[in-house]
Amino acid sequence: MVIKIAGTGRAVPSTRVSNKELAEQIDTSDEWIRSHTGIGARHIAPETISVSDLAVEAARGALKLAVERAEVGETDPEKLAETLDFIVLGTTTQDYYGCPPTCCLVQHQLGAKKAAAMDLAAACSSFIYSIETAAALLLADPRRKRALVIGAETLSRITNWNDRGTCVLFGDGAGAVFLEKQDGKQEEPGEAVSSGRRGLLRTILGADGSGWENLIIRRGGSRNPWKPGETVDIPPHVEMNGHAVYNFAVKVITETIEQFMEEESLTIHDIARIIPHQANARIIQAAGKRLKIPEEKFYLNMEEYANTSSASIPIALDELNRSGQLRRGDLIITVGFGGGLTYGGNLIRW
């Protein structure tokens, strides 16, 4: 059995905030943000839009594309949603704190009546973790056939807009992929690429919990709950040790790509595109330099969207897919990192 990506979708709020506009509110500049991160703008969800709304829009896009491109034997995206076996939503910014899982709101809105639904929290690595989780669940039971994997975030809601060290980095958005299990042979490790089969070939996942404090929302959880009568100056927000995260990111991106190359006997010429988590162009440039991989191999869109955490890789996948930049048979690598600290990558034949 093989796991094929049969549709992609994305949702990005229409409100766009450029670096220049941000610099009117805090002590920063377009020049500093661009030169240190490669970011030029971010999209921010209005108060009326939550993570589940963005997730549903991206999911509907993926279902519609799967139908339009005749990738599945259905002609109606709504009927296709009814056939889903489960939905996995990667997010750090749920609609409601802890309960209910945001994915259940998504399941309800999509009319995916028979789908089980779960949220997965691995910070910015959530999409990479989620697609592997969905694939494993599909392969675990012959009765399961179809799944949706979504990465969606409203990071603007957990951003301290007075902290120039973090607020320039983040944006809101969602991306989704529709997965279908199809007939085919599951190879031994090391054979996935040589077999020529399409779909999700293999995944690398990892975590280094010793770095838990380097990217953190300190208040609101069971360690530091809000107390009755306490005055809140700033809502729960992300704090970051930028240098530590930067060094970790360059290391794990380099190692993950190297591991795929070595274990699957690949050269960079075999890879059509690398789709990294869109946190900082300098991180990608540093990893590319270490690996001697030309910059053009990496697909970057943080200039427009900034870092949308779990949404960044599926948004990029959808952009590449819809613009015809992915051809049937192309080998692609996704690679990412995030709070936890977590990291990972997927090797996919399109």
124 counts as catalytic: yes
159 binds ligand COA per the rule CB under 6 A:
no
Dig out the tokens for 83 from the structure: 């056939």
Judged by CB under 6 A, the chain residues 206 through 265 that form the site for ligand COA are 215, 240, 242-243, 245-246, 249
Give me the 3-22 binding string for ligand COA, x by CB under 6 A, dash otherwise: --------------------
Nearer to ligand COA, 117 or 207 (CB): 207
- Give Cα separations from 305 to 49, 93, 205, 260 (angstroms): 17, 17, 25, 28
CA-CA-CA-CA torsion sign (300, 298, 319, 119): negative
CB of 240 vs ligand COA, minimal distance in Å: 6
Nearer to ligand COA, 246 or 290 (CB): 246
Task: Check 19, 214, 307, 346 and give the catalytic one.
Answer: 307
Nearer to ligand COA, 83 or 246 (CB): 246
307 counts as catalytic: yes
Dig out the tokens for 282 from the structure: 């300098």
Dig out the tokens for 236 from the structure: 């729960």
CA-CA-CA-CA torsion sign (141, 147, 153, 154): negative
- Give Cα separations from 153 to 39, 95, 278, 326 (angstroms): 18, 10, 13, 25
Nearer to ligand COA, 59 or 238 (CB): 238
108 counts as catalytic: no
Q: Indicate the residue whose CB is closest to ligand COA.
A: 242
- Give Cα separations from 5 to 71, 170, 182, 253, 292 (angstroms): 9, 27, 10, 23, 29
Cis peptide before 225, with omega less than 30 degrees from 0?
Answer: no
164 binds ligand COA per the rule CB under 6 A:
yes
Stretch that binds ligand COA, among 26-34, 51-59, 184-192, 220-228 (CB under 6 A): 26-34
Quick check: 10 and 319 in contact, CB under 8 A?
Answer: yes
Give me the 266-295 binding string for ligand COA, x by CB under 6 A, dash otherwise: -------------xx---------------
Nearer to ligand COA, 152 or 201 (CB): 152
Stretch that binds ligand COA, among 30-38, 92-100, 222-230, 253-261 (CB under 6 A): 30-38
Which stretches of 99-157 are assigned E, i.e. beta strand?
A: 116-120, 146-154
| Encoded amino acid at 164, one letter | R
Q: At 262, which helix (H) or strand (E)?
A: helix 242-263
Distance CA 205, CA 207 (A): 7
Quick check: 102 and 73 in contact, CB under 8 A?
Answer: no
338 binds ligand COA per the rule CB under 6 A:
yes
Nearer to ligand COA, 168 or 275 (CB): 168
CB of 50 vs ligand COA, minimal distance in Å: 21
Quick check: 128 and 346 in contact, CB under 8 A?
Answer: yes
CB of 222 vs ligand COA, minimal distance in Å: 23
Task: Check 104, 124, 214, 346 and give the catalytic one.
Answer: 124
Task: Check 277, 280, 321, 346 and give the catalytic one.
Answer: 277
Termini Cα distance of the chain: 16
165 binds ligand COA per the rule CB under 6 A:
yes
Catalytic residue numbers, as ranges: 124, 277, 307
